[in-house]
Chains A and B, each alone.
Chain A
Amino acid sequence: MKTLIVFLVALSLLQNTILGVNLVLLVLILRSFVRVDRSNLYLAFSMGLLMSHLNFTQLGVQSIIYLVLVQLTQVVSRSHLSAHFLTVVVLGVIGVSVDRILASMLLGETINIFPIILLIEGFLSIPIFAIVKFWEERF
């Protein structure tokens, strides 16, 4: 768990400086899909706060969005939809899109979604899912 927290913190720093891709949320969503656990909610809450802090936005906004998305993913993972492999891609793309839309709406900004970045995030969902699954099964 400590390793995952350190990894997520590093990822959030990278996301805010070097990468323009919402990797933290993807990892949180895909972990929630692989493993339904209370820790997902704690991670979503804390990472939401950290992301708000790093994005210089109001604290709490990102936490609420992350919590809702993680919780929804946990619900979906228990349904029959989880059997399909491509569900992770759909969940990833919907998750990051909703995050951007809700964050923009709550902060009173214009909604701005770049299709190319969404496409990249969709493609990234597959390797991230494989890594998270391997990690959770191994450790």
Chain B
Amino acid sequence: MDKVIPNLQLFLILILISLMIFGLDSINFLKWPKIALYYLTNPITFGLYKTKQGFERQFYFIFAARLSAQENKALKDQMGELLSENAKLRNKLAEVEAQLSQQQSLNPQIFNLLVARPIGLSRHLKIDRGSNDKVKKNQAVVFKDNLIGQVTETSEKGANVKLLTDPDSKISAFSQGLSGKAKGVVTGQFGQEMLFDKILHEEKIQAGDLVYTEGLENFLPRGLVLGKVTRVEEKENEVFKKAILAPIFDIRDLELVFIIIE
């Protein structure tokens, strides 16, 4: 028998002891030894359990960080799309606002205006309207009631606008301010300034006055704003006095300009 079932006697004894322990434990006879043993084992199991929790938290942190990174990427993509859409809407809004504002400044019943979009700026302002849109040389380009320049060259789908700051630009003008009125010629200076020249000494002009077109040129209506006087240069030994003008608008900020077709 012992060859088939090894250590049968010991096996039976241990089974018997186990049964006895089970019986004794059932009647709470082993309560105190168990409590004593718990003082030893419980802190160890607690420590191990806390370690496990720590590990789980670390792993969860890695998992959560990875998930957050994926979410962040998706949100960035979404935000990029929204920003792009927002930029398009802002452009459209600016165009609509500019058109409305232009209608308030120059009466569309008197002036036939053509909307153009600036597409480049070097010495000349490049616009996206050309001869196909009935744009011709010498037509005035305005924004609100401000003169931007004059069309100098046209192609089928574009045109160059000579700016007021261009040295080739010469426009008869007058200034109007609290002190009085002065007449002269506005010529462009390289850069951002214009020179209001040929002003008689007896005429009154001071910094802050606005300068308007006289309307003597065929292509220009009277009363368009050319700029604002920043300083006046007056010398006794010169026949005329001069004033330096600054444009009201920065050309680079404009979303749209308007060509006076008729």
Residue positions of A touching B, CB distance < 8 A = 13-14, 16-18, 36, 38, 41-42, 44-45, 48-49, 53-54, 58-61, 63-64, 67-68, 71, 74-75, 78
Contact = CB atoms under 8 A, between A and B. Distances in A.
A93 B11 CA distance: 23
Nearest to A68: B15
B11 A71 contact: yes
A64 B52 contact: no
B7 interface: yes
Given A18-B48, A54-B45, A78 B14 contact: no
7 contacts: A53-B37, A54-B45, A59-B21, A64-B15, A74-B7, A78-B4, A78-B6
Contacts of B52: 17-18
Contacts of A41: 7, 10-11, 14
Contact of A60 (B5, B21, B34): B21
B179 interface: no
Interface of B: 4-7, 10-11, 14-15, 17-26, 30, 34, 37-38, 41, 44-45, 48-49, 51-52
Contacts of A49: 18, 21
Given A17-B49, A17-B52, A63 B21 contact: yes
A74 B37 CA distance: 31
Contacts of A64: 15, 18-19, 22
Contact of B18 (A36, A42, A48): A48
A41 B17 CA distance: 12
Nearest to B44: A13
Q: Is the interface of A mostly helix, strand, loop or mixed?
A: helix
B47 to A, nearest CB: 9
Nearest to B38: A53
Contacts of B21: 49, 59-60, 63
Nearest 5 interchain pairs by C-beta = A60-B22, A17-B48, A63-B18, A60-B21, A59-B25
A58 B6 contact: no
Contacts of B15: 64, 67-68
B6 A53 contact: no
Nearest to A72: B5
Contacts of B23: 60
Most buried by A among B18, B22, B48, B52: B18
A71 B10 CA distance: 11
Nearest to B55: A18
Given A13-B45, A71-B5, 19 more contacts: A13-B41, A17-B45, A18-B51, A38-B7, A41-B7, A44-B14, A45-B14, A49-B18, A53-B34, A54-B41, A59-B22, A59-B24, A59-B34, A60-B22, A63-B21, A64-B19, A67-B15, A71-B7, A74-B6
Contacts of B41: 13, 53-54
B219 to A, nearest CB: 87
A75 B48 contact: no
A67 B14 contact: yes
Most buried by A among B7, B44, B48, B52: B7
Contact of A67 (B11, B22, B26): B11
Most buried by B among A13, A18, A49, A74: A18
Nearest to B22: A60
Nearest to B30: A59
Nearest to A50: B41
A69 B77 CA distance: 60
Nearest to B7: A38
Nearest to A38: B7
Contact of A63 (B5, B6, B14, B44): B14
A53 to B, nearest CB: 6
